[in-house]
Amino acid sequence: MEQTVWAIILGIAALNYLFRVTPLLLLSRVRIPSLWARWLGYVPVAVLAALVAPEIFLNGGVPALTLENKNLLAAIPTFLVAVKTRSLLFTLLTGVASMALFNALG
């Protein structure tokens, strides 16, 4: 039983490594056109927005654009700090502090 578990873990690790390294090896010698490279630069931002937006604007799948939505309230100063400073550290600290404050207040 224990050997089977270790075999599964090692097999998954090997496949994971293979799937992550193969595109790097294949595409390392390919020159990507500048338009594609610029377009690919927006992918991380779009993925992050897709992950964060439902947490901010929805509550149980229902739009929650009220003053009772702590996530939305905390996102406002966090967004402002992100735009003003462009600092990940200050943005994260503002977000954590805002959530702590809004959770403490009610």
Where in the chain are the domains?
44-105
Measured CA to CA, the distance from residue 20 to residue 44 in angstroms comes to 17
Measured CA to CA, the distance from residue 86 to residue 17 in angstroms comes to 33
Count of beta carbons in the 10 Å neighbourhood of residue 61: 7
Cβ–Cβ < 8 Å for 59, 52? no
With bands split at pLDDT 50, 70 and 90, how would you rate the model's confidence at 26? confident
Q: Is residue 30 pLDDT above 90, yes or no?
A: no
Cβ–Cβ < 8 Å for 52, 71? no
pTM greater than 0.85: no
Q: Positive or negative CA dihedral for 95, 97, 98, 99?
A: positive
